[in-house]
Structure 1
Amino acid sequence: MFRTGSNFDKLLDKATSHLLMEPDWPSILQLCDLIRQNDVLPKYALNAVKKKLFSQNQHTALYALQVLESMVKNCGYPLHEELTTRPFCDTLFELAKTTPHENVRQKLLELIQAWNFAFRKSPKHVALKDTMILMKSDGFKFPTFRESDAMFSADSAPEWADGDVCHRCRITFGLLQRKHHCRACGQVFCGQCSQKTTTLPKYGIEKEVRVCDACYDQATKPSAASKAAAEKQESELPPEYLNSSLAQQSQTPPRKTRYLNRSYWESVNQNESSEVRAASPSAPATAPVTETKLKHKENGVVDNDLEDFITTLKSQVEIFINRMKSNSSRGRSIANDTSVQTLFMNITAMHSKLLRYIQQHDDSRLHYERLQDKLTQVKDARAALDDLRDEHREKLRREAEEAERQRQLQMAHKLEIMRKKKQEYLQYQRQLALQRIQEQEREMQMRQEHQKQQYLMGYMGANQFPQSQPPPNTAPPQTAYHGFQYGQAMLPQSAPQMGHPGVQPPMPHQMPPPPPHFQQMPNYGVHQIANQQMMSLPSPMAGAIPMQAPPQNPGVPPQAQIQQPQQGEKTEARTAELISFDD
């Protein structure tokens, strides 16, 4: 078993070599014969092929698939059962997903589809059907199916039956009576009923195996159907032809019969090999002549001139040798034998031509050796090219991954820059909003200051005239706007409108008299009294804008401080006359 397994491994290595230019069919058929003869178990064969399927070289994987296809087509039911087991189907599914070679994947998908169609009616092969469904769900696209690829009807030897008695003579097996199996029918027989051996070509068994007597008779004798067909064919011939001498002759052409006679060709080969081994050492020139003749026969190329020259030279040499042996046995001198001298001269003349033929043969041999070397170099270059292609493919994959990574980094960098710009823009918008709010607040303060100044200037202009009459050509001042309260905050959206009466301050003639301490004080001027009265009056702005007394300059007499605004008294009076409010 171990020797057979090693032979199977050697044949498998030879059939799946990456140096092959085309499938090695003789080795593949030998592998199938080893499995059909039960020399190798189907499980061992599939495990060996599985190792080749996962090879990194795509040619080895393709040849392994070719071997597997031939084994499934030729090795019958035992291999089919082992092929459709769940572990091996999972292995095929894994190979389809992980292989980097597209041609290997397409070939595998084609085989799985063909096997699934061939085993569709058998419930034992459901694992292969499930594998194909899973592959379709994963997105594998199967090629166009051809029914001619799904022909797996191969005859295989039947399984061995078991029993305690002989299937023919019913003798019981025991310690002295051994049990034997017939390789043709699979039944169990005793030694007396299974003594004969024969080949079983229909099961792929080319060696002699043990069979029972009935199977031996059936294998060696023509069948009844063939006899009936022959009799029917003979009965259809006319009786005149059957009674003639022509019908008694062989119908096979003599030349074809000679070519189909296997024993004849085996005897011819044995005779030629014996002639080569029995060549005399005294005639060294005859050995290469015979080898050249054999080589020409093997190659199927015949050179007529060379064949004639070899035949003539061989006859001359044989005659020369026989003549010399005859003279030597009789004690004659070869120097006086004219026939020996003539033969020697003829052989010497033919020697130069023989040397020329030998030189041509050597040149041809060198030429073919160079071609063989070039073929080996081509195979090595092909293997190196495959490796370089794999390296280039891997390099392209790494470059694509690096480019993708750089693109991701650039996108992340751009996103970060855009985020920063967005933050800066939001900060800028916030600052603009704050500036607008501050400008609005300043504008409100300026409006409030302006209104306060107008209010104060209106009161100061009114206090320059007597309390009993208003200033000439002036209307009573209106110190408030319609719907506007000085105690409320002023917004830029609601500016006060002029000409609408509001809350009016008390007129000068309605003002109460100054307190006693103001009456006792010396009269420093009208402005001082007006300022004191204005400070003492309640106003709508009192709650919002506190009024302050004019600052006192230290070191300056009070009279000088009071008389400072008298210099612009006429200007202020004129300004008060111009201020008027519409009703």
Structure 2
Amino acid sequence: MTIDNQDNLCLRCHNREKLFETFKKCSYCSAKLCQQCWTELQTSDEYKVLIETLPKTSPRRICSTCLQTLYGHIAKKKLADDEDDYQLALAISLSQKEADKQRKHEEIKASSITEKKVDQRENLLDKTAEAIERFMNRAKSNYQRNRDVIGDTALLSAFILLQTCATELEQLKHDLDRQRQHFETLQEKLTTLRDAREALNILRYEHQARKRQEQKHADQQRKLLMMQKVADLRQLKHTQIANFQERYFHRLLEEEQESSERLKRQKKLLHEEQFAS
């Protein structure tokens, strides 16, 4: 906005001699600049660089002081935004690292649990084999010595141990059956998924083949249509040429007849003039 300076004082040059000068007013601080100072400010390289850093919605009539202040605010805001982005990226990176660490920990834990179960199964089998061997050896010893097996505490303890092992083996068998059923279910799902994928591939191939056939048929129809259009254009061309030739010959005939009649009239007039003379 251009206004008259009542004080006749420019903020930049402080010249009071410009009585009839018009002044520019800063949109932020309302400071007044004379036309010469405003032009010099706008054409300076520093002002151009700073004004380009401002948002497009910001006013463009700004004094150098307000411009530097705004540039400082924008720089601080940009620095704060960069710091926030850095903190966010750092948090995401740490979260990813924690997730990877947790996943590795879970994998190690699952592996250790599996190894522990395998060790327990092997220990149970070894324990069962040892109990069976002890029971059989004790029974053979009693048989060879003709001892009563009812009062043999060692044989009884071996039998109790075998019962305990049998219970654990039954539980192990139940767990293995449950795992087998789980894996069989997964195998069935994989088979179903494989069949579905094969069916989908077949449908995709048939769809592509049908699309190619339709495209081929459309190309043939387009080719036939173009050939028909070319034939129609040729027929139209021949018709127009024939009509043009017919009109041309008709016009030549008319011109020849007119020329003949004109010649006859001229001869008649000449004959009449000769007869009159």
Q: TM-score, normalised by structure 1?
A: 0.24
Q: TM-score, normalised by structure 2?
A: 0.46
- The structure richer in helix per residue is 2
**Max Rg structure:** 1
